[in-house]
Amino acid sequence: MDSISAINSQEQQAIEELVKRVRLGDTQALGALYDRYAGRVYAFLLRAVQRELAEELLQDVFVALWQKVYLYDPQRGSFNAWFFTLVRHRLYDALPKYQKHQSEDLLSVPGVVESVAELAGDRSDLEDQVLRLFRDEELRRAVNHLPPDQRQTIMMTYFGGLSHRELAEKLNLPVSTIKGRARLGLQRLRQLLPEQS
């Protein structure tokens, strides 16, 4: 089984090298980064939008990576964190345009579950579905140990395709409450997850 520490320091170094080459305009390096990340980005996008739109967004995300890689600063955080934040922001920017609530049956795609809009009626079921996004048992266990409100917030806002505002509206709570829950949830997760090498 894959460990949560699968991306070890060697892998990190390889990624940093690729990022440096992409900064210098090396399209082959971009291709190599695509090969490493596209599957995860695509899986993440499929949580929120249809397959066709996910493919379109997947392209946009890697074009944005090409254009904005000069903004990545390893002193501020890992490439994974920077890139995932970029992906999420691209998704949130695109959602209104792509009319995310248009949904189609995505179950035909392996590993993919229903869209957020279809599952919004059943919160706990949706959280379970989002949890299945992760291949790592250790991570799933850690997420399950979170208090329910924090777990729901993290699953829905970071991985379920909802913005903080949207979840706040759905639950009829202030946005600040949702942000606070997300912050506390991530802090708690940090304590529950093992140290990275």
Partner 1 sequence: MNCDEVAGLEENYLLGDLKGEEMREFERHLKACLICAKRLSGYQEVLGLMFGAIKPVAPAPHVRNAVLERVDDLPQSPVVTLERRRPSKNTWSGWGRVLSPVAAMLVVGLTVATVFLSFQLQQVKTEQAQMQQVLDLTSSPGSWIWPLTQPDVPFDATAPRARMYARPDSSLYLLTATQLQPPPEGQVYRAWYIMNATVDYLGDVQPDQKGNAFLQVPTTGHQAAYITGCFITKEKAGSPPDQPTGPKFLAWKKN
Would you tell me which residues interact with partner 1 (CB under 8 A)? 2, 4, 6-7, 23, 25, 27, 30-31, 34-35, 38-40, 42-44, 46, 54-55, 58-59, 62-63, 66-73, 76-87, 89, 109-112, 132-136, 139, 158-159, 179, 183, 186-187, 189-190, 193, 196
Closer CB to partner 1, 86 or 162, in the complex:
86
CA–centroid distance for 179 within its chain: 17
Query: With respect to partner 1, which residue has the nearer C-beta, 40 or 123?
Result: 40
Phi, psi values for residue 68, rounded to 5°:
-110, 5
**Of residues 25 and 147, the one with the C-beta less far from partner 1:** 25
Distance, CA of 93 to CA of 48 (rounded, Å): 13
Task: Output 13 or 196, the one with its CB closest to partner 1.
Answer: 196
Residue in 22, 18, 16, 14 with CA at minimum distance from that of residue 63: 22
Q: Quote the CA–CA distance of 71 and 23 in Å, as a whole number.
A: 10
How far apart are CB 158 and partner 1 at their closest, in Å?
7
Query: Smallest distance from the beta carbon of 133 to partner 1, in angstroms?
Result: 6
- In the complex, the smallest distance separating the C-beta of residue 179 from partner 1, rounded to whole angstroms, is 7
Which positions ≥6 away from 67 have C-beta within 8 Å?
Answer: none
Question: Rounded distance, CA 44 to CA 180, Å?
Answer: 23
Are 56 and 73 in contact, with CB atoms under 8 Å apart?
Answer: no
CB of 57 or CB of 119, closer to partner 1: 57
